[in-house]
Amino acid sequence: MTTETSVAGALAVLAIQLGVILIAARLCGKLAEKCRIPSVLGELLAGVLIGPYCLGSLALGPELFPHGLFPLPGPGASLSVSLPLYAIATLGSITLLFMSGLETDLKMFFRYSLAGTLVGTGGVIVSFLFGAGLGLAMYHSDFTDPRVLFLGILSTATSVGITARILSEKKSIDSPEGTTILSAAVIDDVLGIICLAVVIGLVDGGKNHSGAVNWGQIGIIAVKSISIWLGATAVGLIFAHRIARWLKWFGSSRVFGMAGFALALIVGGLFEEVGLAMIVGAYVMGLCLSKTDVSFGIQRVLAGVYDFLVPVFFVVMGMLVDVRVMTDRDVLFYGILFSILAVLAKIIGCALPAWCLNFNLRGAVRIGMGMIPRGEVALIIAGIGATTMMTLNGKQVPIIDSKLFGVAIIMTLVTTLAAPPLLAMMLAAKGAGVRKPHPEEGSTHTLYVFGSEILSDLVLRAALQNFRQEGFRHSAIDREGGLTRFVRESTAFALRINGNNFDFESGHDDVPLIRSVMYETLTELHYSLSKLQLLASPEEYACSNSTGTAHKPSAKSRKEIDPHLAHELEKVLLPGMVIADLHAKNIPDAAAELLQPAARAGKLKHPEQCLADILSREKIASTCVGSGIAFPHARTTGVGKLICLVGISRQGIPGAAPDDQPIHLVVLTLAPEKCDTPYLEFMGRIASRLHDRQFRTELLDETDAEAIRDRLLYG
């Protein structure tokens, strides 16, 4: 047999194995979801079922796979699967940790850093001690035994994805308990990864030539691991936006998404070369890019890669389980004991610090139960332990052998299955989880209700496009739960889709932007879909939400304006662009009259095109929003940058306002057609200020054009 034939045959076997793995993962994952358990457990059990210790070693014919599709490993083999298959699974773990880093909410993490740090640290310390204590009892060894240390690290892991789903379903993800759990999980993962790096270093250099513990070397390894991690993270966060700009240089998100993944692979490989695990580097890379506006683009591009590689990882982890050891009484006993200790460790280690803060006993127990599931994080650590060798009685053996791997799998299964019902039960218990409620932090819900799934789907697609034009990137936090997060630099808000209802949760200052984008979306759809007539009415843009509840402006919007916002508005509402006494008798004539000073000042590339685009937009739906205000606007090739023009009609312009009042104030906005200029946000900000009746009265009393401009800008 030639080398080419041998390589082709090996590739053919690998292709068939991957196909079987993906089908088994999908089938078992769906079955698990129908049984209301996490799909990851179904994928893990799929690996056990088709693995070499079960169906995988069954002969399929004398010529075709005589030893099975996944044959049993030979004597002395360190892996129960082929090296190429394990390499692909390793790429899955890198992808998983990279995506986890990208999804980390740094703003929330720093906001709840005190509670999260105390809760996460407490959980890690108690869990490590419980796990390592079990290892001491199992092996009758000292504390520096790698097997003991790995049991401790396995116990510290937390899979917050499962908890986040339960919190989302119970609408508690933004509660004090929910935010503390999510921020504590970040600390938990970071400390667990650092401990993993230190232990791997100890395996190589933790003892001197005589076999005694070299505490000096251990200290050096610990400092080295922590320093590399902190240093790389700090450098990454400092240069994150520069890295993002470099990635965007590639153009399409499909290209820079893969470039971002390439960076994760490079950083992961470098971390492995300096003695840390590859998953540490991948997580660091994702964490650094999470604060940039390319993170969502990368997540969308890698969604297909994730759906391919991550299930392969979980199935391969299941294949490493030697089901024969499950008949061993010691494995079952220690597996169940490890599970009980793992549950108690998180409840005690996380609930106690929370109880010492502002949380009452109910809230503290909720937090502890939310940190119970180990899930994929424990599997990653177990997989690393199964492939990391140590010297025992003069022989090289894996740190986690088949029996210890079985113990780890039992603990993972039990904690992952137990957490959802326990947490759901505690969240269902009535009563606050804090002793003293925190002051309201300005979270505002903007609701939109649609009559059918077809309408809501059309609106969603159009709204996403408009938000992208405003410079926002979006990503599904929970695809099945309908939760999407929007980010543009420091601005962030979330959209939850419940049936045919849209619920935007944002800060108060972001409401005008959301309302402006949604109004524009509805009016665009109204042009071709008459069923959106009522939802696209101008009142929606004016100052009421879709549920009919008036939106009350804050004192800040009535009296003063943020200096940074005023600086931004100065660039749009330029001097000389205000007419204090319009003579037009209708909105089209008013638009033509307002364009004249901009045309004379050379601010318009094509004045005729600007007017044509404004009138075209006006035909879709009237921009007269009531209360004597009109907002004619358009994207057009007639301007090179965002510009605003304001006119006041003393006599009033008859228009199509919903309240039949004449128009006294016309705010005209033009934006370039082929750039992501956030002009809808500008309109929303102006609309928010003009909502106050007293402010409008004072504005209309002004007779000097520059005085009108100053009042609009500075209050």
Helix, strand, coil percent content, the chain, rounded in steps of 5: 60, 10, 25
pLDDT at 311 over 60: yes
pLDDT at 534 over 70: no
More confident position, 487 or 299: 299
Q: 105: helix, coil or strand?
A: coil
What pairing do the DSSP bridges indicate for beta strands 643-653 and 578-579?
parallel
Q: Rounded mean pLDDT of 688-697?
A: 81
Residues whose CB is less than 8 angstroms from the CB of residue 314 and which lie 6 or more positions away in sequence, other chains included: 25, 40, 43, 44, 47, 92, 376, 379
Residues whose CB is less than 8 angstroms from the CB of residue 594 and which lie 6 or more positions away in sequence, other chains included: 579, 582, 645, 646, 647, 666, 668
Q: Please state which of the four CATH numbers 2.60.40, 2.30.30, 3.30.160, 3.40.190 is assigned to the domain occupying 443-552.
A: 3.30.160
Phi, psi torsion values for 660, nearest 5 degrees: 60, 15
pLDDT band at 366 (very low <50, low <70, confident <90, very high): confident
Q: Rounded mean pLDDT of 505-526?
A: 81
Q: Please state the separation of Cα 242 from the chain's center in Å.
A: 21
pLDDT at 482 over 50: yes
DSSP string, 162-212: HHHHHHHHTT-TTSHHHHHHHHHHHHHHHHHHHHHHHHHHHHHHSB-TTS-
Q: The tokens of 379 are what?
A: 């599997």
Read off the DSSP letter of residue 435: S
CA separation for the pair 244, 256 (Å, rounded): 9
What pairing do the DSSP bridges indicate for beta strands 491-498 and 633-636?
unpaired
Contact between 483 and 170 (Cβ < 8 Å):
no
The kind and range of the H/E element at 230 are helix 215-238
- Domain locations in the chain? 83-428, 443-552, 559-714
Q: Judge: domain 559-714, CATH 3.30.1370.160.
A: no
Q: What is the pLDDT of residue 217?
A: 63
Read off the DSSP letter of residue 562: -
Q: The tokens of 355 are what?
A: 């109880």
Mean pLDDT check: name the lowest of 33-47, 154-168, 379-393. 154-168
Q: 48: helix, coil or strand?
A: helix
For residue range 103-128, list pLDDT tens digits in order: 766 665 566 667 778 888 899 899 99
Contact between 708 and 645 (Cβ < 8 Å):
no
High-pLDDT (> 70) share of the chain, %: 79
DSSP string, 81-94: S-HHHHHHHHHHHH
CA separation for the pair 199, 135 (Å, rounded): 15
Tell me the C-alpha to C-alpha distance, in Å, between residue 66 and each of 15, 55, 605, 624, 677. 17, 13, 76, 78, 64
CA separation for the pair 628, 540 (Å, rounded): 15
Residue count of the chain: 715
Q: Is the dihedral of CA 247, 251, 254, 255 positive or negative?
A: negative
Q: Judge: domain 83-428, CATH 2.20.25.90.
A: no
pLDDT at 370 over 80: yes
